[in-house]
Amino acid sequence: MLRQRALGMVAGPLLGLLCLACSATVFVGGPNQPCSPIARFANRFGVIAAQQPGPGGAVVWGVYPAVAATGFSVDVYVDGKRVDHKDQAYPPHGSVNPKDLRSGALVSIVGRAKAPGGELNYGLLCRSA
């Protein structure tokens, strides 16, 4: 909750970038998108964001849907290694342990949720400091 609030304070004023009823996950960011100090994207469906204080720090991430959604599933990868998986009823957030990171690692956060009208898909790529 603390971590979520800390991220929400930064990302909160934004809108969000998620995709409703997409046939495939839409990724925002990319290999050239730094995680540090923050990578955040928004559209009318919500916000997805990650932030890292700097080299050696954890990558803290969160998904903040602007539509009613439940049944969240998310996977987090670092350089193709899965480091976290969540299945939960509420919007997911978490942090990538610095032990799983190296400078320049590609962090991928990808997931989906059930929303009125279809499935909410979200994905974020960024490179750690």
Site for other proteins in 66-125 (CB under 8 A): 75, 77, 79-88, 90, 93-95, 97, 99-100, 108, 110
CB 126 within 8 A of CB 39: yes
Residue 88 C-beta: closest distance to other proteins, Å: 4
Closer residue to other proteins, CB minimum distance, 79 or 119: 79
Toward other proteins, which CB reaches closer, 75 or 119? 75
Rounded Cα distance between 109 and 33, Å, is: 13
3-class secondary-structure state, position 4 = helix
Residue holding tokens 């991220």?
7
CB of 50 to other proteins, least distance (A): 16
CA nearest to 57, candidates 113, 102, 7, 121:
102
Size, binding site for other proteins by CB under 8 A:
25
Cβ distance to other proteins smaller for residue 44 or 114: 114
Instruction: List CB contacts of 85: < 8 A, sequence separation 6 or more.
Output: 73, 74, 75, 76
- Closest CB to other proteins among residues 44, 53: 53
Closest CA to 61 of 70, 52, 69, 53: 52
Binding site for other proteins (CB under 8 A): 1-4, 75, 77, 79-88, 90, 93-95, 97, 99-100, 108, 110
